[in-house]
Amino acid sequence: MSYLLLTSTGFFHQKVRNQFNELISNKKSAVIITTASPQKELNQYAIQAQVDLIDMGFKQVTFLDVEKEAIGALEDADIIYLNGGNPFRLLHFLRESGADGLLQKRAKEDCVIVGVSAGAVVLGASIRIVEWFSPSLNTIDLKDFKGCELYNYSLFPHVDRIDLFPGTTSIEERIREFEKSSGEHVLRLADDEFKLITF
């Protein structure tokens, strides 16, 4: 059985860590995809995820940048962890490297996939919601906003963080306006929440 754990902040909140620990019996290896962050494996959240996984008993925790490195490590990893950052860049290089198809394949095998913030957004049906809220992030000029389609709706992380998404109307009002105009359903995730999907 495979699981998809969608979060805004990874293992920062204990209830997310508790849920993850329930999924990982006999899991030994983890790969952290760092591509979404310009700092890659030096990103503080990627480093913290590695520390957390080692603390939870994983013997092998490696970083992978699908922009520049071969994606073969994803074939055998017990855990695939997609770190946060820029969802446009992440989605582009997941596609270009073929990692999007490999994630779809692994979701049907005995694997746990963890998506954090942008890493959770790209796994859904579409990242169009990001273009709606933060078009300036699209520095790669991505035109096709279709996600990896591991689940069939869109996701908005950090829904409780108005500091990240300032505007003249509330985050909820803007999401509702997006849903009305796009016809997409959006899952809202606060920083201390998670969504677990079983395959």
- Which whole number is the average pLDDT over 155-176? 97
CATH topology of domain 3-198: Rossmann fold (3.40.50)
Q: Which pair of tokens denotes residue 181? A: 């105009």
Using pLDDT thresholds of 50, 70 and 90, give the confidence band for residue 25. Answer: confident
The three state secondary structure string of 156-190 is EECCCCCCCCCCCCCHHHHHHHHHHHHCCCEEEEC
Query: Where are the domains positioned within the chain?
Result: 3-198
pLDDT tens readout for residues 102-143? 999 999 998 999 999 999 999 999 999 999 999 999 999 999
Instruction: Using the Cα atoms of residue 92, residue 99, residue 66 and residue 78 in order, give the sign of their dihedral.
Output: positive
What pLDDT does 151 receive? 98
**Residue 1's pLDDT is what?**
86
Residue 32: φ, ψ to 5°: -105, 115
Confidence of residue 27 (pLDDT cuts 50, 70, 90): confident
Describe the crossing of helices 87-97 and 99-106 by its angle, rounded to 10 degrees: 90
Residue 179, pLDDT above cutoff 80: yes
If residue 29 lies in a helix (H) or strand (E), which one and from where to where? strand 29-33
